[in-house]
Chains A and B, each alone.
Chain A
Amino acid sequence: MLIPVLKKRGPLGKTLHAGLGAAWPICLGYIPIGLAFGVLAQKAGLSPLAVALMSVLVFAGSSQFIAVSMMANGAAPAAIIMTTFMVNLRHLLMSSSLSIFLKTVSIKKLSLFAYGVTDESFAVNHARFSSGDWGVDRALALNYFANLTWVISTVAGGFCGQFIPAGFLGIDYALIAMFICLLVFQLKGRLYVLTAIFAGGLAVVLALLIPGNAYIVLASIAAATLGVICKRRFYL
């Protein structure tokens, strides 16, 4: 659909085509965030090469933003690394959840796949794996298309991000709209709706009470635990 050339070229082309077909909403969402990150990083004194290096080695949007603002405030590297660790702990849950679908995959491919686990790639890959028409190679293609978009947008932001008008085409809303739709895909029954409502409500309360993003992990663990208890107790 998107790039017919890819579809005609053998298995690799088909894999890339499927990966890109699923990755494009993520890529669209990464562009404004990547550009914004590039602008901030440049203001904090990072060269385009330094931005590229960070985007390749870390590939985690929110922690990169936090790292750059901590660097601008003169924080110690150890404090920045510790914060990065805390901010990205939620990937433990995402990788655990994806592991169910990757039982027969070699450790080499799993290691390549792990690099690309983000909030966005997790959500899209999980939805695709659940629907059954997905494999690890397509998931890898999706991850690396998203990664490539992230690296290019962050570097481009360092060069020319300040010239793009704010709010252009509503692109800032791409990831929120994507999460809305992916959440709808997850609402497969009463138990899932209940879990989502509890997670959302608790996340809001915790987000208001504690600084940082610990609310994501805490609310998710509490809601999923409550969901399992309800399932076992009340046969929901």
Chain B
Amino acid sequence: METSFLTLVVGMGLVTYIPRWLPLAFLARRRLPTWFVEWLDLIPAAILSALLIPALVTGGSPRCLDLFRSELWVALPTFVLALKTKSLGATVLAGMLLFWIVGMLTP
């Protein structure tokens, strides 16, 4: 293996590890202000939505709005199922099954 490749992956590894490590190393032992704890409490809902919604309604490269993606239409029953069952495993398996069926029905 070439040295340049090794340098590349070590560099990529470092710049990925540091943002993962810094907050854990410096925030975990500290007493944080209330507003910051409240802010961090909202981060998961915000980040999950920010990851998920564009994946459902945009596609292509460069990205375009596309409301006819099967990702979106399968998401609706999957969402209802997640609300009703509150079960991660059941939601994942049902979502996969629905997406597979929709994939076979649409050419």
Contact B27 A170 (CB under 8 A): no
Q: A91-B16, A211-B62 are contacts. A228–B79 as well, Cβ < 8 Å?
A: no
Q: A111-B21, A177-B96 are contacts. A219–B8 as well, Cβ < 8 Å?
A: no
Contact B23 A115 (CB under 8 A): no
The number of A-B residue pairs with CB atoms under 8 Å apart is 279
CA gap between A203 and B104 in the complex, in Å:
30
Task: Mark interface residues in B22-63 (1 if CB within 8 Å of A CB, else 0).
Answer: 111101110010010111111111111111111111100011
| Chain B interfacial residues counted at CB < 8 A | 74
CA gap between A126 and B48 in the complex, in Å:
11
Contact B12 A84 (CB under 8 A): yes
Taking a contact as CB atoms closer than 8 A, the residue among A59, A111, A124 that contacts B16 in the complex is A59
Which secondary structure dominates chain B's binding surface? helix
Q: A170-B100, A192-B42, A224-B39 are contacts. A111–B25 as well, Cβ < 8 Å?
A: yes
Whole-angstrom distance from the CB of A78 to the nearest CB of chain B?
8
CA gap between A220 and B74 in the complex, in Å:
24
| Chain A interfacial residues counted at CB < 8 A | 97
Contact A177 B53 (CB under 8 A): no
Taking a contact as CB atoms closer than 8 A, the residue among B12, B32, B50 that contacts A203 in the complex is B50
Contact B56 A176 (CB under 8 A): yes
CA gap between A187 and B41 in the complex, in Å:
11
Q: A24-B89, A60-B16, A208-B65 are contacts. A179–B23 as well, Cβ < 8 Å?
A: no
Closest to A94 in B: B47
Taking a contact as CB atoms closer than 8 A, the residue among A124, A170, A228 that contacts B39 in the complex is A228
Whole-angstrom distance from the CB of A175 to the nearest CB of chain B?
9
Cβ–Cβ < 8 Å partners of B98 in chain A: 170, 173
Task: Mark interface residues in B1-29 (1 if CB within 8 Å of A CB, else 0).
Answer: 10011111111110111011111110111
A residues adjacent to B (C-beta < 8 A): 24-25, 28-29, 47, 49-50, 53-54, 57-60, 63, 67, 71, 77, 80-82, 84-85, 88-100, 102-103, 105, 107, 110-111, 113-115, 117, 119, 122-124, 126-127, 167, 169-174, 176-187, 191-192, 195-204, 207-208, 211, 215-216, 219-221, 223-225, 227-228, 231-232
